Structure 1
Amino acid sequence: MKIVILDGYTLNPGDLDWAPVQQLGDIEIYDRSKPDEIVQRAAGADAVLVNKVVLSKAILDQLPGLKYIGVTATGFNNIDTAAAKSNGIIVTNVRAYSSASVAQQTFALLLSLMNRAEMHSQSVFAGEWAASADFCYWKSPLTELAGKTMGLIGLGDIGSQVAQIALAFGMKVIAYRKHPKPVEGIEMVGLDEIFLRSDVVSLHCPLTEETKEVINKTNLAKMKPNAVVLNTGRGPLIQESDLAEALRNGVIAGAGLDVLSAEPPRADNPLLAAPNCVITPHVAWATFEARKRLMQLAAENLEAFIKGNPVNEVS
Structure 2
Amino acid sequence: MRGVFVDANGSLADIFERQQKPNDPPVRINRNADITADQVPALLDGAEIIIIDHTPLPTDVARRCIGLKHVVFLGTGARSYMNPEELAELGIEVHLIKGYGDTAVAECAIALMWSAARGISAMDREMRAGNWLREDGMQLTGKTLGLIGFGGIAAEVARIVLGSGMRVIAWNRSPKKYPGVEFVDLETLLAQSHVVSLHLLLNDETRGFITRDRIAAMRPGVILVNTARGAVVDETAMIDALKSGHIRHAGLDVYNIEPLPADHALTKLPNVTLSAHSAFRTPEASENLMGAAWEHCRRIAEGDE
User: Would you say same fold, with TM above 0.5?
Assistant: yes
Partner letter of residue 216 of structure 1?
T
Partner letter of residue 178 of structure 2?
V
Moved more, 249-258 or 74-83: 74-83
Task: State the alpha-carbon separation in 2 of the partners of residues 280 and 195 from structure 1.
Answer: 24
Q: Does 1:40 align with 2:42?
A: yes
Task: State the alpha-carbon separation in 1 of the partners of residues 131 and 264 from structure 2.
Answer: 33
Task: State the alpha-carbon separation in 1 of the partners of residues 64 and 21 from structure 2.
Answer: 25
User: Counterparts in 2 of 1:101-116, with a 5 A limit?
Assistant: 101-116=104-119
Please report how far the alpha carbon of residue 3 of structure 1 lies from its aligned counterpart in structure 2 after TM superposition: 2.4
Please report how far the alpha carbon of residue 271 of structure 1 lies from its aligned counterpart in structure 2 after TM superposition: 2.0
Structure number with the higher helix fraction is 2
Check conservation: 1:60, 1:83, Cα contact below 8 A. Answer: no
Q: Does 1:214 align with 2:215?
A: no
Partner letter of residue 183 of structure 1?
Y
Deviation string, structure 1 residues 58-102 (Cα, Å, up to 9, x no partner): 333333323332212222223443454344444312111111011
Partner letter of residue 147 of structure 1?
G
Moved more, 256-265 or 295-304: 256-265
Q: Does 1:49 align with 2:51?
A: yes
Partner letter of residue 18 of structure 1?
E
Aligned twin of 2:142: 147
Count of paired positions:
301
Q: Does 1:93 align with 2:88?
A: no
1:245 to 227, 237, 240: 240
Partner letter of residue 108 of structure 1?
A
Deviation string, structure 1 residues 133-172 (Cα, Å, up to 9, x no partner): xxxxx61212221100001111111111111222111001
Go from structure 1 to structure 2 and tell me whether the alpha carbon gap of 1:299 and 1:182 turns closer, same or farther (over 3 Å shift). closer
Aligned twin of 2:4: 4
Aligned twin of 1:259: 254
Check conservation: 1:240, 1:270, Cα contact below 8 A. Answer: no
Check conservation: 2:122, 2:271, Cα contact below 8 A. Answer: no
Partner letter of residue 52 of structure 2?
V
- 3-state secondary structure, aligned to 2:110: helix
Please report how far the alpha carbon of residue 122 of structure 1 lies from its aligned counterpart in structure 2 after TM superposition: 6.4
State the identity as a percent.
Answer: 31
- 3-state secondary structure, aligned to 2:115: helix
Aligned twin of 2:152: 157
Unaligned runs of 5+ in 2: none
Go from structure 1 to structure 2 and tell me whether the alpha carbon gap of 1:15 and 1:5 turns closer, same or farther (over 3 Å shift). closer
Task: State the alpha-carbon separation in 2 of the partners of residues 272 and 121 from structure 1.
Answer: 15
Aligned twin of 2:60: 58
Task: State the alpha-carbon separation in 2 of the partners of residues 110 and 190 from structure 1.
Answer: 22
User: Counterparts in 2 of 1:1-315, with a 5 A limit?
Assistant: 1-9=1-9, 12=12, 16-21=15-20, 23=22, 24=24, 25=26, 27-31=28-32, 32-77=34-79, 78-120=81-123, 139-267=134-262, 269-308=264-303
**Coordinate RMSD, CA, aligned:** 2.7
- 3-state secondary structure, aligned to 2:9: helix
Check conservation: 2:155, 2:178, Cα contact below 8 A. Answer: no
Check conservation: 1:241, 1:270, Cα contact below 8 A. Answer: no
Please report how far the alpha carbon of residue 268 of structure 1 lies from its aligned counterpart in structure 2 after TM superposition: 5.2
Partner letter of residue 211 of structure 1?
T
- 3-state secondary structure, aligned to 1:236: helix
